Chains A and B, each alone.
Chain A
Amino acid sequence: MIEKGKIWKFSGVILIVYVIIAGLLIPLKSGIESVEPSYGNAGETLKIQVTGYNTHFKEAGNSLRAWLKWENGKAIAAKEMVALDERRVDLTFSIPNNLPENTEVQAVTLLIDSEADGTSVLPSAIFLTQTEKVLTAEEVQWVKPANFSNNGQITFPFRNILGETIRNTYFHVPLWFGMMFLFLFAVIHSIKYLRKGDAESDLKAEAYTQTGIFYGLLGLITGALWAKNTWGAYWSWDIKQNMTVVALLIYAAYFILRASFEDPEKRARVCAAYGIFAFSTLIPLIYVIPRLTDSLHPGSGGNPAFGSQDLDNTMRMVFYPAVIGFSLFGFWLSSLQFRYLRLQKLREDVD
Chain B
Amino acid sequence: MDRIIEIILEFVEPEEEITAESTLKGDCGLTSFDTVCLIDALCNEFGKNVDDIAVRECQTVQDLADIFLD
State whether these chains interact: no
